[in-house]
Structure 1
Amino acid sequence: MTIKTLQIPTADGQADAFAAIPDRGEQHPGVLMYADGFGIRPVLREMAQELAGHGYYVLVPNLFYRHGPAPVIELPEYIGAEARPAVLAQLMPLIEAHTAERTLSDADAYLRFLTAQPEVGAGPVGVTGYCIGGLLATRTAAAHPGQVAALAAFHGPVGADGPDSLAKITAEVQFGHAESDLTPEALGELNQALDAAGVRYTSEIYPGTVHGFTMPDTDAFDPAALRRHWDHLIPLLDRTLTTR
């Protein structure tokens, strides 16, 4: 496994990023991974390495590069109930400044960079994201229907842009929702919008989970839900990204 530190040219400057790359010298399908609102940190590197171990080139950009290199704020090793309010107070202005327009501009740059890497094979790519990164992944898939073949989002506000925002998605979709984030009624409305868009999808609530359930460095972590997330994500990518 190789970890590369990278700089991605964007319309607004340079986004720092890293890539996790399988050691085998051949080309691999590309996956763009959007971090959660806490950003790049050891847990994200571990998740990217886990995914790369299944044969994928995984690119993880710093979502908040306009405000500085990652980590943009100082994070505790463990984000528990005591630390969370102060951390979120610093991060929310950055999240709110990351508009839909910035998301789409950055997505263009990230995908252009990803597909130009010599270790990435020709063919479609996947996008996956966590928390706010799930929304960014969904926006990316909707904006690049001919290029993104797999979309996965976990405990993310994927329906925040309204049902019409899903209409352009052609990727196969995997949404894993936290029970604390979505009511069964809201899930039904989201899935109706996916049905109307003709999307092939799985969209379900992970029972007993709270927002952030995939992240081991937070008090939201649920080990069983993280395993379930991998059990859905890897087969999705294996089905849809054919370049090996």
Structure 2
Amino acid sequence: MTSVQGTAVDIPTEDGTADAYLAHPADGVPRPGVLLYQDAYGLRPHLRSMADRLAAAGYTVLVPNVFYRHGRAPVFDLPEFIGPETLPDLWTRIGPVMQSLTPELSVRDAGAYLRWLEASPRVTDGPVAVTGYCMGARLALRTAGAFPERVAAAAGFHGGRLATDEPDSPHLAAEHIGAELYFGHADNDPSLTEDQIERLEAALTAAGVRHRCEVYPDAPHGYTQADTDSYQKEGDERHWEALLDLLSRTL
């Protein structure tokens, strides 16, 4: 197992400073860059451990606090384990913060994150990969569409609202994407209906995007997040296999 070093970093953006977590192999040798987008609960120990696992596989991984406009992480006072008893109160605070991160702001921030990776001595020259979880899957899709020259691969897991009827739906970025994409959908996910899955698949196919979309059976929304009651070991292990396969082929 490769030894990993993790550090807190600050990223200058057009609207301030985004705090972030950077994980990379401890030998100091530059590695391909991966931008990892959080779920709605934000940058916390579990996401740092996910970044460490990716770094141990040979990548330099940046996990920004995408809610930095509302404070440094942790933006929300989270319990050690996020279960149903904490969700109602938690979501009354998370909802407005999520909604304040508009598509325009998220793309603007993505540019700052990608520029930071490009300038980092820990990252090799060339394109990077993006992976995202829950709301982070939307951010990954938008980033791939906005920066086709910088993103070689993008993945999203248990993403919601990826292909809605709204004029700024994430799937409408398909025609601009040059990356290879992978999506691992949660089964019976109310935030990603069968209609949305079909709409996303159709848009990617029509745009000629290299992609694979799979529905993980019996996997709940949030199946990769081990600090929540949505975690499913089988889905999580399948996600790691698919993600590492995508990265090894594209970076």
The interval holding the TM-score normalised by the smaller chain is: over 0.9
For 1:144 and 1:206, the matched residues in 2 are separated by 28
1:169 has 2:177 as partner: yes
| Cα distance, 1:130 vs structure 2 | 0.3
Q: Which of 66, 69, 77 is the matching residue for 2:69?
A: 66
Q: Is the 2:138–2:170 contact (alpha carbons within 8 Å) kept by the matching residues of 1? A: no
Match of 2:97 in 1: 94
1:178-197 mapped onto 2 (5 Å cutoff): 178-181=186-189, 182-197=192-207
Match of 2:244 in 1: 234
The one of the two structures with greater contact order (alpha-carbon pairs below 8 A, sep at least 6) is 1
Match of 2:158 in 1: 155
1:28 has 2:31 as partner: yes
1:1-244 mapped onto 2 (5 Å cutoff): 1-157=4-160, 158-160=162-164, 161=169, 163-181=171-189, 182-241=192-251
Give the structure-2-normalised TM-score.
0.93
For 1:118 and 1:14, the matched residues in 2 are separated by 20
- What secondary structure does 1:115 align onto? helix
For 2:198 and 2:139, the matched residues in 1 are separated by 22
For 2:63 and 2:242, the matched residues in 1 are separated by 20
- What secondary structure does 2:226 align onto? coil
The amino acid across from 1:172 in the alignment is E
Give the structure-1-normalised TM-score.
0.96
Q: Is the 2:163–2:197 contact (alpha carbons within 8 Å) kept by the matching residues of 1? A: no
For 2:156 and 2:75, the matched residues in 1 are separated by 23
For 2:17 and 2:69, the matched residues in 1 are separated by 8
- What secondary structure does 2:213 align onto? strand
For 2:66 and 2:43, the matched residues in 1 are separated by 8
For 2:90 and 2:47, the matched residues in 1 are separated by 17
Q: Is the 2:141–2:170 contact (alpha carbons within 8 Å) kept by the matching residues of 1? A: no
Aligned-pair identity (%) = 50
Runs of 4+ in 1 over 4 A off after TM superposition: none
Q: Is the 2:163–2:196 contact (alpha carbons within 8 Å) kept by the matching residues of 1? A: no
For 2:143 and 2:170, the matched residues in 1 are separated by 15
Let me know the Cα RMSD of the aligned residues.
1.1
| Cα distance, 1:91 vs structure 2 | 0.6
The amino acid across from 1:186 in the alignment is Q
What's the CA shift string for 1:68-113, capped at 9, x where partnerless? 0000110001111111111111111100000011101100100000
Q: Is the 1:187–1:204 contact (alpha carbons within 8 Å) kept by the matching residues of 2? A: no
